[in-house]
Amino acid sequence: MFGRVKIFVKIVLCAVLGSHLFLAQAAQAQQAQAQQLDDVQQIVAIVNDQVISLYDLKQRVLLFIISSGMRELSAQEQQYLQQQALQSLIDDKLKIAEAAKYKAVISKEEQEEAFASYAKQFNLSPEEFEKQLNQAGIDKKSMLQQIEASLAWEQVVGGLLMPQVSVTDEEIYNVIERFESNKGQDEYLAREIFLLVTDNDRREETRQAALQIIEQLEKGAAFQVMARQFSQSTTSAVGGDMGWVMKTELPKEIASALSGMKKGEISDPIETEDGFYILQLVNKRQILTPSPEDTTVTLKHMFFQISDQAEAEEVKALEKAVQEASGKIDGCENVEALAEDLDAKDSGTLGTLKIGDMPERLHTPLLETAVGKATAPLKESGGYRIFIVCDKKAPEVQVPDYETVQNTLTNQRVGLIARRHLRDLRRDAIIDYR
């Protein structure tokens, strides 16, 4: 009897505790909903009669945080993010309103495609990315609104501003001629983040924003993701990618900065009349001069495994054996059979690859290895690998054709006009900060 009473008491306690937990969770959910409703009703700015709520601002700040990879924020970083988020929301209102003047309509399908593309940058499916956003407290709708503004602005740029750009035959042929006369000079593959300055009284504030972005980039934030979120250039849609540009075609401030940078390096803020640039040098080459990194090679490989517990003598013996085996290779016809005879752990065909797309430590060995021969043994975790070069093709260098030059010049001018058009929209807007 007493045992039954104890069981009954336990059941009652569990029921009571469970109900309390349920009530607590329900109360928290109600409180969160009430807070969200309060944030939606609280106005932080009005842009030409378009309202920006505290909820919109908080959502955009969270988007900036998840995009930049920030975790713990200082008071200064919080203030900076709020300022940038508010400016971004204001720009979005202006972009969508400008697109509406010209009957630009962004379909739900276009927004979802862009959302999927963004998720891919994080190596996530759209469903996984949405789940991650929700876990961070971000409503997918908030991101779709940002995407809508970006796509709307692309339509304004393509439909309204691009037709205003005229590039003459003479200009195009002059550029082609400069390619030939500048043979051997540097050209750069770079990315950009551009922060527009519309009010010179707030120029220093924009400089500080640029410094904050650089700090996050140096901590490991992806440049392309940051460019999509923060950059006010037309290249933001492609992660800030500027393509290959000649030094002579760049503004002197940009050219000067790139000429002193190393591959992968991020610049300090570069001040211009219109605003501040942050650059990343992806690669550098000489105009109309073949680059060894552009050489393509067709490869096979063999991997020889050794235990992590092997003694130094065993490792040295394996290296010597692999070295002798690689020296006997003469052609790619019987690599798999030879790998089996040599007791290779793994072997096969890697296909045709550009040397510049492979790890840097492989560049010199592959460039120095003749067709049909194998590289010296290359140490890896767990053993040694050799690569057999089955074919090798030096890069062909050609002067850009008429259409390529025309597109490059057009895009450069459209980007400049777009930045100035957005600056004019800001200056003409009636913005009421609350």
Is residue 192 helix, strand or coil? strand
Q: Tens of pLDDT along the chain (434 residues)?
A: 444 444 433 433 343 344 444 334 434 444 545 455 566 678 999 999 999 999 999 999 888 887 766 666 677 777 778 888 898 899 999 999 999 988 888 899 999 999 998 888 778 899 999 998 998 889 999 999 999 999 999 999 988 888 888 899 999 999 999 888 888 888 999 999 999 887 888 899 889 889 989 988 998 888 988 888 888 888 887 889 998 888 888 888 999 999 999 999 999 999 998 899 999 999 888 888 888 888 999 999 999 888 878 888 888 888 888 888 888 888 898 888 888 888 888 999 999 999 988 998 999 999 999 999 999 999 888 888 999 999 999 888 788 899 999 998 998 889 889 988 998 998 899 999 87
Nearest CA to 296 out of 242, 360, 367 is that of 367
What is the sign, positive or negative, of the torsion defined by CA atoms of 192, 195, 198, 200?
Answer: negative
- Residue 210, burial from CB neighbour count under 10 angstroms (0-12, 13-18, 19+): buried
Residue 48 tokens, joined = 């030409």
With beta carbons less than 8 A apart as the criterion, state whether 303 and 347 touch.
yes
pTM above 0.95, yes or no: no
Residue 295 tokens, joined = 């050489």
Q: What pairs with residue 186 in β-bridges?
A: 286
Summarised one tens digit per residue, pLDDT across range 297-330 is 999 999 988 887 888 888 888 888 888 888 888 8
Classify each residue of 357-368 as buried b or exposed e, where b means 16 or more C-beta atoms within 10 Å of its C-beta: ebeeebeeebee
Would you tell me the crossing angle of helices 75-101 and 402-428 to the nearest 10 degrees? 100
- Residue 400, burial from CB neighbour count under 10 angstroms (0-12, 13-18, 19+): middle
With beta carbons less than 8 A apart as the criterion, state whether 159 and 152 touch.
no
